[in-house]
Each structure stands twice: as C-alpha cells, then as structure tokens.
Structure 1
Amino acid sequence: MTAETPSRPPLMVGLTGSIGMGKSTVAAMFERAGVPVFDADAEVRAMQGPGGELVGRIEEAFPGSTGPEGVIREALGAQVFGDRDRLARLEAIVHPAVGRKRARFHADNAQADMVLFDIPLLFERGGADAFDAVIVVSAPPEVQRERVLARPGMTPAKFEDILKLQVPDAEKRARATHVIDTGTSLEETRAQVGRLIGELRAARG
C-alpha cells in the first residue's frame, strides 16, 4: 500500500440492548480490548451537563428543567416521562447532536480496523442497516428485572413503562448479527467478547 492509497474503512459495529442487559459492561470490555467505542449515552450526558451545548435549547423547550449543573434529570423526566409528544420534542433536540458527535468519532478513528457504536435505542430509532454487524446484549428477564430495580429511584411501574418504549428483547435478538449473553459470569461474558472480536476481525480479513 502506498501513502496515497486509502486504507480500508473500519468495520462498523453497532451495540445495543434493552435496559439492564449489561450493555455498558460489554462496551467497556470492547474498549479494554482496543476497540474504539462511541458511547451515545456518555455524549448525551456531556452535552446536558454544566456548560453543555444542549442545555439552553432544552431549557427553552422545557422551562425549569435545567440549572447551574446542566439538565436536572428528575425535573426533565417529570416533564417528558409518559408523554410521547414531549419525548419526541426532546429527541428532536438530542438525536441530531448525537449524530454529529458520532460522525466526528468515525472520522477520528478512520484508521482503526473496527469501531463500536454503543447505541441504546438502535432498533427503536432505526439505523441498524448502517452497520456491518449488530450485537445485542441480552440476559434472562429475571436477571434484567433484578438489575433494573436495584437502580436508585427505579420502581416496577417505571420499569414497565420503559419496557413499553423498547423493542422486546426477543425481537432484538432475532434481528441481531451476534448476541452476547450477560446472564452469566463476568469472566464468561468477557470470553464471549474476546471470541466475537476475533470472529469479526477474521471475517473482515
């Protein structure tokens, strides 16, 4: 390959999974294995934090939902939770901004052999076809429920409302290119991740 010859673009891998399935844990395993990871949730938190680029627009659309430290999650949640129209208004502010961050990440890692995009609502919002492979992180329902209800401020009713907004886990698994089972030990999950990275790199050549 000469200096003028462009390298192959990185393998585009999407990572998704329903609430409480262990997606963040799996994403961290990929990152520790040397795969660049774009964390959509982390980008949103930064843009909604102190001085974040979206704080002003969110306050304008949802008065009283921000403060000196950025978006007040409880206050914003009280305004949008269970209201599809308000949620859609918030998403119209957040999603394009995340898309721009994602494009920048992709450009910055153009020389990598593989990049991972951690996108919680990949199937819900569309866009799965943009990836060479889609990994779904999954666990048995009882494990998912136990994990979610252990979170501060979570209630069974809130958990059920969240599930209603997400594509069912069984459908996600059916649409996935690969599935990582996190209903087992961390060691076994890490082994699954290692095997999958090897498979993806081998398939890419």
Structure 2
Amino acid sequence: MSRPFILGLTGSIGMGKSTVAAMFEAAGVPVFDADAVVHRLQGPRGALLPATEEAFPGSTGEQGVLREKLGAQVFADPDALTRLERIVHPAVAAQRHAFMIEHSGEPLVVFDIPLLYEKGGWEQVDAVAVVSAPPEVQRARVLARPGMNPDKFAHILSLQVPDAEKRARADYLIDTGTSLFATEEAVKELIATVTAARDPS
C-alpha cells in the first residue's frame, strides 16, 4: 500500500499558518504539528526534560521547560542551540514516524513545520504549501500579540527565510490576506487537487 502524500505547511510569523492548519484538520486531513509535539515533550513530565536539564541546568521545573531560562542559555549561542536541537529533533522524528504509521491509509497528511525551509524539512515532504499575507497584514497581526514589539518582530524576521523567497519556492500558495471563507475555500480546493492526483481511477 502506498504511503500518504505528505504536504509540508509553512509560513513566516503572523501569516496565519496555525489557522490554515486547523482548516486542514477540520476538513479531515491529519496534521502533524511539530511545535505542538515539542511543547508536549517539553511540558510537565515530558520525555525531554531529563536530557534538557542535564544539558542546560536550571532550565526545567515541575511545569516542564522554563522557556525564558532555556532561551537565555541558547539565545545568540549557535553551539548551545545545536546541542538543544540534538535533544529535540530525534524525539520529534520518532513522533512523526509514529504519526505516519497511524495514518498510513490516508491519501493526504500535512506536516505543519514553521521552519520548513530554514531547517531542511522541505526535503522530507512531497510538496510545500506556503501560507502568506501582505506585509502590512502580517505586521499588524504580530504586533497585536502580547509581549511583542517592533524590535522583537524584526529579530524574528531576520531568522526566517523571507516571505518572497518562500512564495517563490512554494508548490502551492495559500493567501490569508483575504476573508476566512476565501482561505478555507482555497484549502478545500488544494485538498481536492492533491487527492485527485493521487487517485488511480
């Protein structure tokens, strides 16, 4: 039996990727949310806590990883970030493998990966859908978030592949600068396109 078609879903901060991922789920498409998996593995009694605490003393507590303390230890330190990724990435890969086994009979699954292009995840998928919106819409969404400011927003953008490059590399583009209804219709159309291409009949 052939495996499902794997659609990578990505987009820069504030582009509406989480909203689009929820639309795929609502349409019955299984979604592997890499960020959610990491949060669970790093949460209370999470599987990654012992290794994280050993590598970064004082970065965990009863509620799981203490994100501000861990962030302070890895921020602007490429070597520390690499050590953290060596802890996190294999665990996420194992969860992704289990997800694929669970949904092996589906025609389509979605890998929701924020840093798909930045970390090489595009090599693991069959096609990439990029979620995008006009810059002014993105900026307004991000700056409305609690604790966000223009400098922090600019720093986050500097770490991400520019939206224009993502759009150029995308197999499919999902515009969230329109109404939610229009975006949802675009998602449904994309699902139909991909599943029709997979149907041998």
> Normalized against structure 1, the TM-score is what?
0.93
The equivalent residue for 1:141 is 135
- Contact 1:36–1:115 under 8 Å retained in 2: yes
What is the alpha-carbon distance in structure 1 between the residues aligned to residue 186 and residue 54 of structure 2? 45
The equivalent residue for 2:154 is 160
Given the alignment, which residue of 183, 190, 197 partners 2:191?
197
What is the alpha-carbon distance in structure 2 between the residues aligned to residue 150 and residue 89 of structure 1? 33
Cα–Cα, structure 1 residues 39 and 22, in superposed 2: closer, same or farther, change >3 Å? Answer: same
The equivalent residue for 1:59 is 53
Structure 1: 5+ residue stretches without partners: 1-6
Moved over 4 A (4+): none
Given the alignment, which residue of 93, 108, 122 partners 2:116?
122
What is the alpha-carbon distance in structure 2 between the residues aligned to residue 65 and residue 25 of structure 1? 31
CA deviations over 1:66-113 (Å, ceiling 9, x no partner):
111001112212222232222222112111111111111011110111
- Contact 1:10–1:113 under 8 Å retained in 2: yes
What is the alpha-carbon distance in structure 2 between the residues aligned to residue 108 and residue 91 of structure 1? 25
Q: CA deviation at 1:8?
A: 2.5
What is the alpha-carbon distance in structure 2 between the residues aligned to residue 108 and residue 174 of structure 1? 33
Q: Does 1:151 align with 2:145?
A: yes
- List aligned pairs for 1:78-117, cutoff 5 A: 78-117=72-111
- Contact 2:113–2:121 under 8 Å retained in 1: no
The equivalent residue for 1:187 is 181
The equivalent residue for 1:3 is none
User: What one-letter code is carried by the residue in structure 2 that aligns with 1:19?
Assistant: I
What is the aligned residue count?
199
RMSD: 1.2
What is the alpha-carbon distance in structure 1 between the residues aligned to residue 82 and residue 128 of structure 2? 25
Q: Secondary structure at the match of 1:184?
A: coil
| The 10-residue stretch of structure 1 (101-110 or 82-91) with the greater mean CA deviation from structure 2 | 82-91
What is the alpha-carbon distance in structure 2 between the residues aligned to residue 88 and residue 151 of structure 1? 28
What is the alpha-carbon distance in structure 1 between the residues aligned to residue 189 and residue 178 of structure 2? 16
Q: Secondary structure at the match of 2:117?
A: helix
The equivalent residue for 1:37 is 31
Cα–Cα, structure 1 residues 81 and 146, in superposed 2: closer, same or farther, change >3 Å? Answer: farther
- Contact 1:82–1:161 under 8 Å retained in 2: no
What is the alpha-carbon distance in structure 2 between the residues aligned to residue 159 and residue 75 of structure 1? 20
